[in-house]
Structure 1
Amino acid sequence: MVFCGLASSAEAVTLPAIIGPHMVLQRNAEVTIWGWGKTGEEITVTGSWDNQPVKTKADNQARWEVKLKTSAAAGPHTLTVKGYNTLVLEDVLLGEVWLCSGQSNMEWSASAGIDNAAQHVAEANFPAIRFFQVAHRTADTPQLDLPGQWVVCTPKTMKDFSAVGYFFGREIHQKMKVPVGLINSSWGGTPAETWLSSQAISASPVLAQAAAARKEVPWGPVQPGKAYHAMIAPLTSFRLAGALWYQGESNTDAPEVYAQLLPALIQNWRTQWKQDFPFYFVQIAPFNYGSPEERVRLGEAQLKTLQVPNTGMAVINDLGNPDDIHPRNKLDVGKRLAAWALNKTYGQKDVLFSGPLYNGQMKVEGNKIRLFFDHADQGLVIKGKELTHFEIAGEDKNFVPATAKISGSTIVVSANGVKKPVAVRLAWSNTAVPNLYNKAGHPASSFRTDSWTR
């Protein structure tokens, strides 16, 4: 960044950290550039991709902002901000900007330990991928700025950045041939409540009551809004292509609340950004939690969130480790998230993006139940000799292991002794790893056809 001019530092136009050299601005969009200056100071902002200056004045709060139209031209470009002083931001790219957020599995880096870490780090030379790491901070009210800087993707910078975010970004970059900017704002061990604004939590009696019941932990905030105010709010003027979310392990104690909490978070963020951007999330992996159904019920809440428009869920029940809450295969997590983006956001309809999802339809056929799935048009696949982890129950609500057979794009389930079946479950436990896939190689989500409490 080049500074020039004779104005005193008290009068110098300044920018938030998220607007700086090496950044990626969303291409083919209207982006906001903002900052601070002396009240009434005339500010001129010019992007070298079109050299069209846009003028404004700092208001009575010393804040200013302008809207710039970006093009498809990747760059590198310069962004010039001229007030009493002049700032020239070098090496600015136009591309796709994604926010990565959540708890430790999103925060997890190659340095922390991932499969084939040495190879992935050594290969991480992508000048058109840029990282912005948000530091851990809390605040009681929404903040205007946060610490951080944009850096170019190199082995040195990649190794401490979100591995899931990096693998997602690399896939988008390689398939779309465009620059990618990744903003990682994550904090290990945090519940979702702290990633919504405090107002969004208090607006819902259910969420407010659940948040009030959370107990302090030594590793991070739990109170509503604490992380949002410091780590998300300062970013809400920065135009995104979409958001990625990998979180839920710290909410397994109240999965029924999460079914309201995650949709509320999505709406809260979209409202604050004034943008209905795509929101793609990861269904948490099998792990040996304390209570027998914590993980699978939380996963069910995530599955229900697919009812929210413009969302997608990467299923990773085949990538987990029941003895490690941090699965080390982050490559396939990132690639499965990218598949959703490539198909749904970028229109690459040949990219298959989801595993089989039970679509709520079942048909009782004598002593058998036929199940119907979305994302199974090209057929279903067993990895192994026979389908596992299916259970069936009659009116007594007693589930027993079942035999399951693929029949085209459906599955027929039955069990000896269950003459009048009424419900089926798949992989309904914390540690179950089913072996049902579609021909694209994506695994099926766990599910149940009933809503029984037992």
Structure 2
Amino acid sequence: MVLQQGQPVAVWGRGIPGKQVAATFKGQKATTAVKADSSWKIELRPLKASFDPAVLEIVSGQEIIKLNNILVGEVWLCSGQSNMEFAMRKIGKLQSPPGAGWPVKELETAHNKNIRIFLVERKKMAPDLTHAGWSVAEDDALRSFSAAGYFFGKELQAKLKVPVGIISAAIPGSRIEPWMPREAFTVLDFFKKQTDSTHKIDGDPGKFYNTMIRPLIPFALKGFLWYQGESNCFLNERLQYTYKMNALINYWRKEWRNSALPFYYVQIAPYYYSKAKDRPYTVFSEPEFWEAQQAALKIPNTVMINTMDLNDNPADLHPVDKWDLGKRLAQSALSKTYHASAATPMGPVFKTVIIEGAAMVISFDYTGKGLVSRNGKPLNCFEMADEQGQYVPATAVIKNNKVWVSAAGIKKPGAVRFAWREDARPNLYNKDGLPALPFRTDSKLMAAFKPE
């Protein structure tokens, strides 16, 4: 496995109450006594990154446990639903690569001993908390592992030149609620209101947290990667989902005793939600759910990864391009967490709007070296509304690193929206190659969300 560098490292388990336990690793030795409830925990002092396989030895009386082949580097936990769970073997099935550089043979060429993976299997974690599932990222172990998580780890290892460990705990089709216990919700004022179904707590809180996340605590981590939301989008959730993200982020950080742990999450992929015929709910607009996800950027130390250009088929809920997704997640970490890259951690995000005559001038955060049309063509996917709220296609141009938007026939603009379609393929990017997030200038949801 890989242990996290630069942080105290917890070693814990169960034993006979009152007995002494000693842990030895890389010249350190620490001891403690087993508590009355049979639990014990030892913290090792922060470690330096190392490619040299080491042994962790744990001794209590005559009992000795030796864990071999341990490296020290960076450790991340990735979680969510099917698009995070999406396994490497599915990429290997591609017959005709749609574009240059698609790593369809990654399973054949992946033999980097410095990337280690741990797949959390729900059925194994509840009775057995030994974390025995660590593997080198290759062969059969990699076949079943998260593609997004692996490509994130591969990029991170290549750039940081330290060992990388990735833990994947994801369940296809899961809502956000099962990934935290009920108490994560009840501490937020939003869910204390209980005025209508918007503030209701359902969806089996704690179902997956108890068996797939809690057993990992307090394993030292650098941060979290999250790709989930499709199931909640099908339920037509909006502001309540933002607060559920608020609850999840707060709770995980609290349980790991680090309120600043990075939480980098992925925009659900473009998909024809409005055309779904097999769901009992009416879904009005995926862009409104993207907006709910984006609102969570108000929570400190978060980044949202744009996927607008990573699904060539909006009829497919599970786009296969997880390598570019993994690279974008890694770029976020390299830029914002490690300060090892001059690139922006994410694509342009709507900041402010002012009216200049018949034009609306849009400013953005995360412009990096500047805004650009990716294909050199006029900017697309912009619409402008008049004072009555009627939207029409608009013209948009980049001037002084801002976007000026106008529309024929509208002399008094009311609002602008961008990429406000499930199948939008906008060409507004920053020069780091990252697309701008969808937005609307008159969003009530963005103003309504107040992080707790």
Normalised TM-score (structure 1): 0.88
Contact kept in structure 1, 2:343 and 2:368, CA below 8 Å: no
Letter in 2 for 1:392: M
CA contact under 8 A between 2:91 and 2:104: conserved in structure 1?
A: no
Which residue of 366, 371, 374 maps to 2:362?
A: 371
1:52 matched to 2:5? The reply is: no
1:136 Cα deviation after fit: 2.9
CA displacement at 1:44 relative to structure 2: 0.7
State whether structure 2 residue 176 is matched by structure 1 residue 192: yes
Query: How big is the alpha-carbon RMSD for the aligned residues of Structure 1 and Structure 2?
Result: 2.2
Residues 366 and 112 of structure 1, relative CA distance in 2, 3 Å threshold: same
Which residue pairs with 1:414 in the alignment?
A: 406
Q: 1:293 to 1:146 in 2, by over 3 A?
A: farther
Cα offsets for 1:33-74 (capped at 9, x unmatched)? 001111111111000x2x221111111111111110132141
What is residue 396 of structure 1 aligned with on the other side?
Answer: 388
| Displacement after TM superposition at 1:148 (Å) | 5.0
Check whether the contact 1:255–1:294 (CA below 8 A) recurs between aligned residues. no
| In structure 2, distance between residues paired with 1:213 and 1:257 | 10
**Other-structure match for 2:305:** 314
How far apart are the structure 2 equivalents of 1:228 and 1:211?
Answer: 21
Alignment check: 8 A CA contact 1:143 1:230 kept: no
Check whether the contact 1:133–1:148 (CA below 8 A) recurs between aligned residues: no
Q: Deviations over 1:189-234 (max 9, x none)?
A: 11111111121134447557558676xxxxxxx3111111111111
SS at match of 1:267: helix
Question: Structure 1 residue 378: deviation in Å?
Answer: 2.0
Q: 2:270 aligns with which of 281, 286, 290?
A: 286
Distance 1:205 1:224 in 2: 17
Given that 2:368 and 2:431 are in contact with CA atoms closer than 8 Å, whether structure 1 keeps it comes out as: no
2:296 is paired with a residue whose SS is helix
Q: Is the 8 A contact 2:417 2:441 kept in 1?
A: yes
Q: What's 2:110 paired with?
A: 124
Of the candidates 69, 72, 76, which is equivalent to residue 53 of structure 2?
76
Task: Give the aligned partner of residue 347 of structure 2.
Answer: 355
Q: 2:149 aligns with which of 139, 161, 165?
A: 165
1:256 to 235, 239, 242: 239
The answer as to whether partners of 2:363 and 2:403 remain within 8 angstroms in 1 is: yes
Q: Secondary structure at the match of 2:417?
A: strand
Quote the residue 1:97 is aligned against.
75
Deviation at 1:143, TM superposition (A): 8.8
Secondary structure at the residue paired with 1:127? coil
Whole-angstrom distance in 2 between the partners of 1:110 and 1:210: 37
Query: Take 2:298 and 2:113, find their aligned partners in 1: how far apart are those partners?
Result: 37
Residue pair 1:70, 1:94 contacting (<8 A) in 2 also = no
Partner of 1:304: 295
Distance between the aligned counterparts of 1:143 and 1:339, measured in 2?
A: 37
Aligned AA (1:398): Q
Match of 1:274, as an amino acid? R
Shift, 1:118, TM fit: 3.5
Q: What SS class does the counterpart of residue 226 from structure 1 fall into?
A: coil
**Kept in 2: contact 1:173–1:180 (CA 8 A):** yes
Separation of aligned partners in 2, 1:450 and 1:293: 18
Residue matched to 1:232: 213
Q: Which residue of 2 aligns with 1:269?
A: 252
8 Å CA contact 1:138–1:229 kept in 2: the answer is no
Matches within 5 A, 1:26-41: 26-41=4-19
SS in 1 for 2:44: strand
- CA gap 1:450/1:137 in 2 versus in 1, 3 angstroms: farther
CA distance in 2, matches of 1:247, 1:211: 20
Q: Is the 8 A contact 1:292 1:429 kept in 2?
A: no
For the pair 1:110 / 2:88, whether they are aligned, the reply is yes
Give 2:388's aligned amino acid.
D
1:441 aligns with 2:433: yes
Q: Quickly say closer, same or farther: Cα 1:262–1:213, change in 2 above 3 A.
A: closer
CA distance change for structure 1 residues 127 and 377 in 2, over 3 Å: closer, same or farther?
closer
Distance 2:342 2:121 in 1: 38
**Structure 2: which amino acid aligns with 1:113?**
I
CA deviation string 1:341-384 (max 9, x = no partner): 0011111142332211111x111111111111112252222134
Deviation at 1:152, TM superposition (A): 1.0
* Residue 317 of structure 2: aligned partner: 325
